Structure 1
């Protein structure tokens, strides 16, 4: 009976994600991934055609988790009928979970792979862009129902600001060595949005 190789594949993906996030794609070798996953070259090439294929699957896995994170925020606030109240609760959901997020990861894989010229124009870029678009569409949709009448705010740009707050938060946490900086930045964004929605 053939053995189930899924645990090995998952372990290789998990190790590769951590290494690529911490040290970059270019500095992460297949041999390093294999060694830290306590696997073998035979097992690696059974699951992945190349290092680029590994990165593509790592990003696909990361993007799926990212979109599940988005869905969790939408589901947690779906019961709120008031649009402005829902937007604030949606943002607070991520603010409240910021410490847990930083305990799980030290940086964002998206920023790491997008900085690699070797990966420019690959399916990886499309995966990251697709995830960013999903966040933009979801939050912009919430904003459109919540912004004061006559507001001249670009809902998509305001939604993108959450994305940039997350990315900037990761950089700030690494720069200062303080993981609570993510929560602080998300709190500031939520407070600014609250003031905007209340017309202050």
Structure 2
């Protein structure tokens, strides 16, 4: 059977993701990506028209995977009827998988991309905004169900979870302690638990 080259494309994207996260986009050259992927210049330009095209496809893939992780969490708690229990189970799911997250990556591609002047404001950042909005809507919906009639800014509370993930990546990397991811997610769960408990008692 003829090979469609998808394995080569994935290998190049995997190598580029590691390099961009570790060194930044500007400091990562096409030659470095090719060498890290064990590929060739011809293979690279068969799949990507330029370094900018590589960045766009890389971010799109990462954002789609990120939204996929969100959906996995939603699927896990979909059968829970009580809104508050569903929200807290959703948070517990990510706490339980925090070590896996940190074991598979030391930082987040979003941070690497959004600190690069060449990429901020370009179409490369568009998928990141889509992922931010997907997380906000899903978590805000969980919070609305758990909080009921409340004056709390549920969108801001939902964004706080996304911010926690990104901030925890930086904290873990700065300190060399991957356990910060679990601890920070636990802190958000406790916050959500207290807010929803207070709303029920009012």
- Give the TM-score range, shorter chain: over 0.9
Aligned residue pairs, count? 199
Q: Which residue is 1:104 aligned to? A: 104
> In structure 2, what is the Cα distance between the partners aligned to 1:80 and 1:37?
43
The Cα of 1:23 is off from its aligned counterpart by 1.0
SS class of match (1:119): coil
Displacement over 2 Å in runs of 4+: 1-4
> In structure 2, what is the Cα distance between the partners aligned to 1:84 and 1:21?
36
Q: Which residue is 1:170 aligned to? A: 169
The runs of 5 or more residues in structure 2 that have no matched partner are none
1:116-165 residue CA offsets vs partner (Å, 9 max, x unmatched): 1111222221110000000000110111111153x211010000000110
The Cα of 1:2 is off from its aligned counterpart by 4.5
CA contact (8 A) 2:74 2:90 kept: yes
CA RMSD of aligned residues (A): 1.1
Q: Which residue is 1:144 aligned to? A: 144
Q: Which residue is 1:185 aligned to? A: 184
> In structure 1, what is the Cα distance between the partners aligned to 2:56 and 2:148?
42
Q: Which residue is 1:159 aligned to? A: 158
1:4-40 residue CA offsets vs partner (Å, 9 max, x unmatched): 2111100000000111111110111000000011100
1:75-100 residue CA offsets vs partner (Å, 9 max, x unmatched): 00000011111000001111110000
> In structure 1, what is the Cα distance between the partners aligned to 2:84 and 2:127?
30
CA contact (8 A) 2:59 2:125 kept: no
> In structure 2, what is the Cα distance between the partners aligned to 1:132 and 1:22?
22
The Cα of 1:54 is off from its aligned counterpart by 0.3
The runs of 5 or more residues in structure 1 that have no matched partner are none
The Cα of 1:103 is off from its aligned counterpart by 0.1
Q: Which residue is 2:56 aligned to? A: 56
